[in-house]
Amino acid sequence: MSRLVELRNCRRVYDNGRIIALDDVSFSVARGDFIGITGPSGSGKSTLLDVLCGLEEPSVGEVLFDGEVVRGRADWARLRAERIGFVFQSFYLIPSLTVAENIEIAMLWQGVSARDRRDRVAQLLERLGLSARGRQHPLQLSGGERQRVAIARALANRPTLIVADEPTGSLDSRSSADIINLLEELQHGGEITVVIVTHDKEIAARCDRRVELVDGRIVSDLRGPIPAVPTEVCA
């Protein structure tokens, strides 16, 4: 599988080096990966995700996207706008806009014509089971529905990569399962690569690849299904 994003020896420190959020991490995301990043609070999961998409610059090390080192904010801003979709725990929808407008806004600066924007919004609403909600406002929706709107917005510019930081952190278990099913469907559809940060072991278990962080370091990186836990103890 070809590499979509690669971190080479990335270190990220805060507070004049007193806090080491990422400690010499080398890590790559292959095209088509469906990765769950887990680890204790403060272990560097969000930092890893932010470095992966240029929201944070590594203090040391470099990040490659599609095989090329990305340097500078302008290049990252362009990559994020054109290639990366974001989903966060707290949705970040604009309450004064309708659901349809919240999705459309992602395309406003991408040169998509008004007609194509309308068509894409309609397709996304349909795909995410939100067709009846387009004219409503975010505060009229449940948490699970709001997160689906956020996912529709993340998909609007047809990204290569979706990054999600605790996307189910504010949701009940049923809505969480819906959101993960949805992300899984998108990734199985082919072109999209998904990286999710999660505290939830069940969600991590659904991922094709699980990366665990402790104290800013990757302590395990496993592919494939989780081995079944034996239910009987042999005498």
21 binds ligand ATP, rule: CB under 6 A: yes
Residue placing its CB nearer to Mg ion in the complex, 6 or 50: 50
In the beta sheet, which residues pair with residue 195? Answer: 35, 163
89 binds Mg ion, rule: CB under 5 A: no
The 3-class SS string of the chain reads CCEEEEEEEEEEEECCCCEEEEEEEEEEEECCCEEEEECCCCCCHHHHHHHHCCCCCCCEEEEEECCEECCCHHHHHHHHHHHEEEEECCCCCCCCCCHHHHHHHHHCCCCCCHHHHHHHHHHHHHHCCCHHHCCCCHHHCCHHHHHHHHHHHHHCCCCCEEEEECCCCCCCHHHHHHHHHHHHHHHHCCCCEEEEECCCHHHHHHCCEEEEEECCEEEEEEECCCCCCCCCCCC
Footprint on residues 45-74 left by ligand ATP (CB under 6 A): 45-47
Residues 164, 196: contact at Cβ < 8 Å? yes
36 binds ligand ATP, rule: CB under 6 A: no
Q: How many residues bind Mg ion (CB under 5 A)?
A: 1
* Smallest distance, ligand ATP to C-beta of residue 175, A: 20
Could you say which of ligand ATP, Mg ion, none residue 193 binds, taking C-beta under 5 to 8 angstroms by partner kind? none
Could you say which of ligand ATP, Mg ion, none residue 44 binds, taking C-beta under 5 to 8 angstroms by partner kind? ligand ATP
Q: Which of 15-23, 74-82, 181-189, 218-226 is the region at the interface with ligand ATP (rule: CB under 6 A)?
A: 15-23
138 binds ligand ATP, rule: CB under 6 A: no
Footprint on residues 42-61 left by Mg ion (CB under 5 A): 46
- Main-chain phi, psi angles of 24, to 5 degrees: 55, 60
Residue placing its CB nearer to Mg ion in the complex, 46 or 187: 46
* Smallest distance, Mg ion to C-beta of residue 9, A: 22
Q: Which of 41-49, 79-87, 127-135, 147-155 is the region at the interface with Mg ion (rule: CB under 5 A)?
A: 41-49
Could you say which of Mg ion, ligand ATP, none residue 47 binds, taking C-beta under 5 to 8 angstroms by partner kind? ligand ATP
The site for ligand ATP (CB under 6 A) is made up of: 14-15, 19, 21, 39, 41-47
